[in-house]
Amino acid sequence: MTVEPATGPEPQSVLSPLTTAAIFLVATVDEGGEQSVRDLLADLPGLQRSYGFGAPDGRLSCVAAVGSDAWGRLFGGPRPAELHPFEELAGRRHRAVSTPGDLLFHIRATRQDLCFGLAAEIMDRLRGSVTVADEVQGFKYLDVRDLMGFVDGTENPQGRAAVDAVLVAGEDADFAGGSYVIVQKYLHDLDAWNALPVEAQEKVIGRTKLTNVELDEPASHVSLNTVTDEDGEERQILRDNMPFGSPGRGEFGTYFIGYSRTPEVTEEMLRNMFLGTPDATHDRILDFSTAVTGTLFFAPSADFLDDLPEPPAAAAAERPVPHTRTESPEGTGADGTLGIGDLNRSTAP
Ligand code: HEM
């Protein structure tokens, strides 16, 4: 794919390097909450500076992204060409669920307190206008390992390759500098995983556990996620996965977040994982990890947020019918959240 020089609109901080702390906040926009959300989006760079300026070593950043159903409620004019709801995948053994989400805030820093402060400020502005669907506080674990014990993120593209893989360019000029984002919250069954000998775990992942060396395993997670275009060129995404959990509650997870120039690439990887390939019926990582959320967003450029398009003429008039939300609980729980993101073992093997 030909890519123009990086002279287009300034992206949000999607290309920021992995940090030691992150908060992933997903919310739906309440009827009538559209203007508060627009105000917040316009103020976000300023809020980021307020919290980050005094702590330059903290590398605080926040990417805001908008889901398909909310886009037309928030902004008039054209919409990102490939923005659509996350498509649920029903494999023979495992399901990639599609769960509600109009807004994603991906907040990163080297200090959890900075992430927390910015998330609190964002929610302070949005309270009464949105309903939180899911909130996850991620952390760096040991030498960048997931809670299954493997180094996660090694094969991420870097530099120019990352820019090419992640940022929309001339193919959708109105939205150049933006990026599609897919998130999935996975909960691990660590008892079952840890009962597996290390050698068997390594075959599942496709890398050695201690030394992180790639193995030649056609049915591994790594192989299923190595996808190429018609010319044999590898198609990449940028992952900023973070472990999260609560030992007290026996909760251990990986928050998957993948940025890409077109959602097609991540979707192909998901199809390989959940529906299988000629080499594998499914990704065996799923025998030990259950996806409890799944949502697709578009993170517009920083320039777009700086100069938002006019709101649609009748922003609050018509709410599109949700796509595949039948698996999600209806209405909010007693805590005011949508109550998603918990493990529903009925989807587990
Ligand atoms: C339970 C959730 C997941 C865990 C624990 C996990 C863990 C890992 C680990 C340990 C690696 C090897 C090192 C690396 O290159 O990062 C890896 C590679 C990779 N994963 Fe995942 N992953 C998860 C979900 C996903 C999902 C949902 C996708 C895509 C939709 C994905 C895409 C990839 C890609 C593209 C690679 C690199 C393949 C290559 O070597 O080129 N992962 N993952």
Residue 325 has pLDDT above 60, yes or no: no
The tens digit of pLDDT for each residue in 99-113 reads 999 999 999 999 999
**Would you call 117 helix, strand, or coil by DSSP?**
helix
Around Cβ 245, how many Cβ atoms within 10 Å?
Answer: 20
Q: What is the pLDDT of residue 342?
A: 66
Q: Which domain holds residue 309?
A: 13-313
Residue 289 has pLDDT above 90, yes or no: yes
CA proximity to 297, closest of 183, 166, 171, 220: 183
Lowest mean pLDDT among 35-39, 49-53, 277-281, 330-334: 330-334
Select from 189, 222, 273, 283 the residue to mutate for testing ligand 1; criterion: most ligand atoms less than 8 Å from CB: 222
Alpha-carbon span 254 to 138, nearest angstrom: 8
Atom number, ligand 1, closest to the C-alpha of residue 145:
10
CA proximity to 172, closest of 54, 82, 55, 63: 82
Overall average pLDDT of the 326-333 stretch: 42
Name which residue leads in pLDDT, 154 or 344.
154
Atom number, ligand 1, closest to the C-alpha of residue 236:
35
Contact 61, 109 (CB under 8 A): yes
Q: Which residues pair with 184 in a beta bridge?
A: 256
**Would you call 335 helix, strand, or coil by DSSP?**
coil
Residue nearest to ligand 1 atom 43, measured at CA: 152
Atom number, ligand 1, closest to the C-alpha of residue 146:
5
| 120 within some domain | yes
Q: For the chain, what percent of residues have pLDDT higher than 70?
A: 88
pLDDT band (50, 70, 90) for residue 320: low
Alpha-carbon span 271 to 96, nearest angstrom: 9
The tens digit of pLDDT for each residue in 162-202 reads 999 999 999 999 999 999 999 999 999 999 999 999 999 99
| 327 within some domain | no
Q: What is the pLDDT of residue 176?
A: 98
Q: What is the pLDDT of residue 54?
A: 85
| 285 within some domain | yes
| 3 within some domain | no
Alpha-carbon span 49 to 54, nearest angstrom: 8
Site of tokens 């190595």: 226
| Mean pLDDT (the chain, rounded) | 91
| 339 within some domain | no
| 342 within some domain | no
Q: What is the pLDDT of residue 51?
A: 87
**Would you call 269 helix, strand, or coil by DSSP?**
helix
Q: What's the gap between Cα 91 and its chain centre?
A: 21
**Is 152 marked active-site?**
yes
The tens digit of pLDDT for each residue in 213-247 reads 999 999 999 999 999 999 999 999 999 999 999 99
Element of type H or E holding 88: none
Select from 225, 260, 275 the residue to mutate for testing ligand 1; criterion: most ligand atoms less than 8 Å from CB: 225
Overall average pLDDT of the 61-75 stretch: 97
| 347 within some domain | no
Q: Read out DSSP for 185-234? A: EEEE-HHHHHTS-HHHHHHHHTB-TTT--B---TTSHHHHT-EE-TTSPE
| 323 within some domain | no
Residue nearest to ligand 1 atom 16, measured at CA: 153
Overall average pLDDT of the 296-320 stretch: 83
pLDDT band (50, 70, 90) for residue 8: confident
Active-site option among 152, 189, 240, 283:
152
Alpha-carbon span 290 to 200, nearest angstrom: 19
Number of domains the chain contains: 1
**In angstroms, what is the span from residue 259 Cα to ligand 1's centroid?**
13
Q: What is the pLDDT of residue 339?
A: 61
